[in-house]
Each structure stands twice: as structure tokens, then as C-alpha cells.
A = this chain, B = another copy of it.
Amino acid sequence: MTLTRQLARYAVESRFEALPQAVQHEAARAFLNWVGVTLGGSAEDASRIAARFVASEGATPVSSVIGHGFRTSIASAAFVNCIASSVLAYDDAHLPTVAHPSGPAAAAVFALAQARAVSGAEFLNALALGIEVQCRVANMLSLPPAPMNPKFYVNGFSGPIGVAAAVGRLIRLDEQQMRWAIGTAASQASGFRAAHGTMNSHFRPGSSTRAGVVAALMAEMGFDCIENALEVDGGFIDVYAPGSDPEMALAGLGEHHEMLANRYKAYPCGIVVPPTIDACREIRARIPAGAAIARVELAVNPLVLTLTGKREPRTTIEAGISVYHWAAAALLCDQLGLDTPEAACVADPAIAELRGRIEAEARPDLGKGEAMAKVTLADGTVLESHVIHARGSLERPLTDGELNTKFADLARVRLGHDAAEALREMCWQVGDLADVGGEIGVLLP
């Protein structure tokens, strides 16, 4: 047996009914989170340009360009929707590899489900499969014994393969076709991290999902490839991550579900900021009504200040990665979410004033997922909090209720309250639908 064959066989034989209930439920959570971040991101510039580009090409109208009110081809819809789901940096993270697997997988399987009748069980099975294969390939590439050059953008390498498996399963490729699809997907693996912070960094997941969709649909038509592209001499692993151990992608396949290590982000902020937010949030809950804050002291891992140490952000992007801004907002605002890094919040005089009074100490003895906050009130009361695991971490995943709140915050960018509620309910019920694309498609803007 070989890696390509074993992944292909697992994909071809995968069944929703065989998945543990936790995995079934996690796939629904991934879908709900993906629909939310896609709606929320659909108004951003990168998404608008991508939508305009695919509109300029034209297509038989099949799959929704979410938030833009038109349909296009499966591959183009997956491309744009995946960009939209990525652009707020609010999507998901597979923490061991810092990959974001649900965007490419969900964008592809949803676009496909609008082209052919797909039941809820088939849909969630394919989505779980696409995430699982991506997490496993990313582990194989990124972790010891032979970690890939970290300057490669790992989603661009794991994404096409996982998407090909997911779409290939939905269109019922046989094992040989699935091996071709995985090969053609792997031959499109690409991307480096240096362009992070530009629109290109969102093009990458969009391009990954497109690559996997095309690989699967062309394999169905008979477009062939070698059958062992991942592990053959001179193939995928050999050129991109020589020395990687195929067994890392295969160990416990069907028993251990690596997709359960995927988590949804709790805030649209830099990945090291949430522990500080949570510490400030805990303290805020204990501040008596009307009490004034005299002093704020934070203690964080040194990396936090290196990555997010800008005290006076001027733009949304700077605010999203300012630990000072988030700490001040966490202490003063009723709600945190999409609005927090926006102009009105950034310019709010109370928040700006408090930002200027926060002291942050770099403490090498604190972990990257850890933070301490100490607030002294005007009357001398001292309130302290020490967060070991932030919301959205592996140890403290968002609850279903927290996902609902996040969804509501995101969906309002494109939908009114009632329409957002209806869509959210339908997303939770996705596993029971007879025709996922038809029943959910009509609810999308």
C-alpha cells in the first residue's frame, strides 16, 4: 500500500454513518463558522475584486458567489467564497500546523452541492473528509521528523489534496480516479508566506480550493495522472518536504480524527492576542458599575509584544493586531467582534485614552497562550486575572452558543436579523437536509 492509494481508498470508502458523533457535529460547526466568516468577509476588497473577476469571465450560473447575488461555476464560486472566508482572519486554525483547513474544504463542497444533489450526510462526510485529509497532510509536511520549510504556505500544499478528496467523494470517483485527482491536486501545490498581509495571502486558499475542485472534476472526465504522486521519487513529498514520513498522514486513519484539533477563532485578531482579551474580559465582569479604571498592567509572552505591540493603531488592520487596542476594548466595550478593530472603535476617545495608560510587560516565563492582567480601580481596588487557555484554544473551544454569537455578528454584514437567524438554523440542520445546495442556496445573499 502507498500513501496516495491509502488516502484515496479512505476517501472513496468514507461514510457519514461511520464517523463518531463528535466528528459529525464538528463538521456542522465548521460549516456554520465557514458560512459566517464568508458572509462577513464578502464585503472586503479582496472578495469584491475576486467576485468582479469571476463575473467578468461569465459562467453557467450554478454555484453562489456568497454575498454578491450571482452564481458562477463550481470552481470559480469556491475560489471567491474561500477568499471571503479567509480575508477577516477570523476563520479557523489547526493549531499544530497553523493551517486553516475548513475554508478550502467548505467552499469546495458547498459549491459542488449547488451543482449536484447532495444530501446532508454526504455533505458533512465530505466536509469532514476534506478537513481531515488537510490536517493529516499538513501534519506530515510541517511536523518532525522533517518539517517543511516554514516559509512555504502550508494551506497551499495541504489544501488542494484535501479538497480533491472531498469533492472526489461527493462525485463518487472510483479509487483510480481519486488517485489521479490527488495527483493533479498535488501538482498544483504552491505558495509562500512572504506575501502575508496583502490580498495575495487570501488568493492562496482560494487558489487551493480551485485546484482541488478542478483536479476532481477533470479526473471524473478521465484526465489522468500517476497513481502515486504523493510518495513517488520526484513527486510531492520528495520535492517539497523531502524526508517527511507518509505514516504521519496515515496513522490511525478512521480511528483518530485529527480534524477535532481544528478550532474556530474567537476574535478577529492576531493569534496571540486572545489570552489578554479573555483576562481583561474576566476583570470587566467584576468591575462595579460606574467605577473608573486607574491603571492596567498586562504580562504576556515576549512574542505578543513583538507581533502585536503597536500601542496606537491607525487602521483596521493595525487595530486587529494591537494587543493594547484589544485590551482597552475588552475592558470598556459591551460587545467584542467585527466592530472592534473598525474606525469608530479605534478612534473612540475613551478607548484611545485607556490604550495610552496600559503597561505591558514581556515575561518569558509565560506561555504564548497565556496572559495576566491586573486592573487598579480609582478607589484602589485591585482586580487580577490569569488566563492559561484562551477562548478558541484547543483546550477551550468555542461552544455552540459562542459560535451562534459569532455567526450573528458576521452575518449582519450581508443579512438582516431574521434572514441571518433562518440561515443559522438551516446550517445547524445541514446533516438532515435532502439537498444541501438547494435548501441553503436560496437563503444566501
Contact = CB atoms under 8 A, between A and B. Distances in A.
Given A187-B190, A233-B194, A224 B199 contact: yes
A316 to B, nearest CB: 16
Report the contact-size class of chain A (Cβ under 8 Å from the partner). Answer: 35 or more
A226 B190 contact: no
A225 to B, nearest CB: 4
A239 interface: yes
Indicate the member of A46, A149, A214 with the most B CB atoms within 10 Å.
Answer: A214
B235 A194 contact: yes
Nearest to A204: B187
Q: Chain copies in the assembly?
A: 2
A335 interface: no
A404 interface: no
Given A49-B221, A192-B229, 16 more contacts: A53-B221, A57-B59, A57-B73, A57-B74, A151-B234, A156-B187, A183-B198, A183-B200, A190-B190, A192-B239, A194-B233, A194-B235, A195-B235, A198-B225, A199-B224, A200-B225
A186 to B, nearest CB: 8
Name the 9 nearest CB pairs between A and B, nearest first. A58-B60, A200-B225, A194-B234, A57-B73, A151-B234, A190-B190, A194-B235, A192-B239, A49-B223
A329 to B, nearest CB: 28
A238 interface: yes
Contacts of A225: 195, 198-200, 203
Interface string A179-218: 0100110011111111101111001100100000010011
14 contacts: A49-B223, A53-B214, A53-B223, A56-B217, A156-B187, A183-B198, A184-B200, A193-B234, A194-B229, A194-B232, A195-B226, A199-B223, A199-B224, A199-B225
